[in-house]
Amino acid sequence: MLKDAIPINTLHRALIIKLRHHGDVLLTSPVFSTLKAHAPQLEIDALIYADTAEMLSLHPALSKIHHIDRLARKQGLWHYLNTEWQLLKTLRGRHYDLIIHLTDHPRGAWISRLCGVRWAVARSVGGRGGWWQNAFTHFFATPRAALRHTVELNLDALRRLGIDPTQSERKLSLVPGREAEARVMSLLEELGCAEIPFIHIHPASRWHFKCWPGEAMAALINRLNKEGHRVILTAAPDNAESEMIEAIQSRLEQPAPCLAGKLSLKELAALTARARLFIGVDSAPMHIAAAMGTPTVALFGPSGDKEWGPWKVASRVVTSDAHSCRPCGIDGCGGSKVSDCLTSLSVESVHQAVQELLAE
């Protein structure tokens, strides 16, 4: 037992802060589940960017979600300052006992200080000044070698406070909701896929250097079609992703049913939940598939699969053994936006991973 463990049974409200992208936010979901399981009386709030809200909304352990609009600065100084002031007043009015800051971001330090919480935990960050050190009562360490999954790193914040997560508490949680499930069912009926097993492929990422070439993905889909598998394609409502889908479709011997640009994140989750298999790259949709318990084939290039791979789901991670430099974390070789360790992955290796998962 830690000497400075906090008395969680005496807490009333806690705030968990994660100011990052969609996948990062989803990977914090076990923190909410675990904290609630160990302190059922606790009201737990989240502070996240507004565009990532679908990753946590309807989470059974959450009381409130507070949003930050990334575009507020563009609407003028006074609008931005008023938004910040209103947020601070709202947070102070919640009278938090505990703040868990899961992002290396100065906003969490200022909120901890200005809200006057009794306990606050954050990642230990070397070189920070007193304003950071004085804002928190507890710090959790991160390993020098990046070989620990991000979910476990997030849960380390709770371990530092004296809470030991069980295996069942470490699962991702994402609730699509009835409305999303109903719309997806309607779309599947329109595609003639409502009663047909299908493989869900989301080939794109907002980061081009994480993407497998379209011609390779098309070759894989052609193989799957010949084997009698039905494939459904998805992509975000983004011009670059739409172009990638078009390039893939143009190389297919028979076009694949496609819902690119037509789904919200909740609807994407509802679709993935119905799939027998998901295929994609290191991206939020891959994490969504894992959260829905869908067997996942994930292609990794310069990003680290040990930290970001599919979490607690039947999976195969396809990487290159020929590139000792990976994972480098660079946006393409030499910053070129093209990652040789990813583009060189063979269709055969990905197809084999698919066959292995389908056989399980």
Give the Cα separation of 51 and 114 in Å (integer).
Answer: 25
Both tokens of 278, joined, read: 């998901």
Query: Mean pLDDT for the chain?
Result: 94
**Same CATH fold assignment for domains 8-170 and 178-359:** yes
What average pLDDT does range 100-129 have in this prediction? Answer: 87
DSSP secondary structure letters along 239-270: HHHHHHHHHHHHT-SSPPPB-TT---HHHHHH
Question: What number does CATH give the domain 178-359?
Answer: 3.40.50.2000
Kindly report the number of other CB atoms within 10 A of residue 80's CB atom: 15
Per-residue pLDDT tens over the stretch 196-241:
999 999 999 988 999 999 999 999 999 999 999 999 999 999 999 9
| Residue extents of the structural domains in the chain | 8-170, 178-359
Contacts of 258 (CB under 8 A, 6+ apart): 232, 233, 234, 245, 249
pLDDT in tens, 231-287: 999 999 999 999 999 999 999 999 999 999 999 999 999 999 999 999 999 999 999
Q: 243: which 2 tokens?
A: 């172009």
What CATH superfamily classification does 8-170 receive? Glycogen Phosphorylase B; (3.40.50.2000)
pTM metric for this prediction: 0.95
- Residue 295 has phi, psi (to 5 degrees) of -50, 135
In this prediction, residues 8-36 reach a mean pLDDT of 97
Are 283 and 290 in contact, with CB atoms under 8 Å apart? no
